[in-house]
């Protein structure tokens, strides 16, 4: 099982960007559809993070695309620096 966290925070993105990527109720379902067996979306004023588990590795770009689905702009033109933690203790 591959456990990971993909997100952005006040260290990597401004508040407007974080607000745009803040998830909607259906985002965790979209993430699970990207190959994750389990997913949790955490959104606070300082960060937007997806905690997930998958049988195979799911790319950071794929998770970013899931978060960007509700953004009007094209994801490629609007891609803040996401961080990734994987299998860390």
The Cα-based distances of 10 to 16, 32, 44, 47, 48 in angstroms read: 10, 26, 10, 6, 9
29 in catalytic set = no
Residue with tokens 């620096």: 81
- Tens of pLDDT along 49-81? 888 888 888 887 888 777 776 665 554 555 668
Assigned token pair, 15? 């508040």
Number of domains in the chain: 1
Which one is catalytic: 5, 36, 45, 66? 45
Is the pLDDT reported for residue 35 higher than 70?
yes
Average pLDDT over residues 6-22: 87
What percentage of the chain reaches a pLDDT higher than 90? 6
CA distances in angstroms from 86 to 2, 14, 26, 57, listed in the order given: 8, 24, 24, 10
Q: What's the pLDDT at 36?
A: 85
Mean per-residue pLDDT over the chain, rounded: 78
Q: What is the pTM of this model?
A: 0.76
- CATH number of the domain enclosing 61: 3.30.460.30
Domain encompassing residue 9: 2-86
């Amino acid at each position: 099982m591959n456990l990971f966290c993909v997100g952005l925070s006040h260290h990597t993105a401004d508040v407007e960007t974080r607000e745009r990527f803040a998830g909607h109720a259906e985002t965790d379902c979209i993430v699970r559809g990207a190959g994750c067996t389990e997913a949790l979306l955490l959104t606070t004023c300082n960060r937007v993070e997806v905690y997930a588990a998958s049988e195979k590795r799911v790319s950071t770009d794929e998770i970013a695309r899931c978060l960007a689905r509700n953004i009007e702009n094209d994801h490629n033109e609007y891609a803040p620096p996401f961080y990734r933690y994987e299998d860390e203790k």
